[in-house]
Amino acid sequence: MLFASVLLGLSFAAPGFSQSFGGNSCVDNCEGHRAGYDWAEENGIQSEDDCSGNSSSFEEGCRTYVEDSGRGAEYDDDGNEIDE
């Protein structure tokens, strides 16, 4: 019982990501993912090969658009609105 309590306490103390976008963990508020998704949408990107950028989150957002262009960029994977 004590062991389980210690493990439970450690799980709350461990750092984690509060949001994800397209199955990718976000740092802060998914801003980079959203920017990549929006850019891909604006430019009609249809291939993941065209998703290059200055950050991995931007590229992940672009790839998310290619995989699911109907999901939109306003919400994370849990349906929570992304702060601007």
Q: Residue type at 3?
A: F
List the chain domain ranges: 21-75
Residues recorded for the chain: 84
pLDDT in tens, 29-66: 899 999 999 999 999 999 999 999 899 999 999 999 99
Q: Is the separation of the CB atoms in 19 and 82 below 8 Å?
A: yes
Tokens of 74: 């306003």
From residue 52, how far is each of 19, 39, 41, 65, 81 by CA, in Å? 22, 11, 14, 13, 25
- Cα(76)–Cα(20) distance, integer angstroms: 6
**Mean pLDDT across the chain:** 83
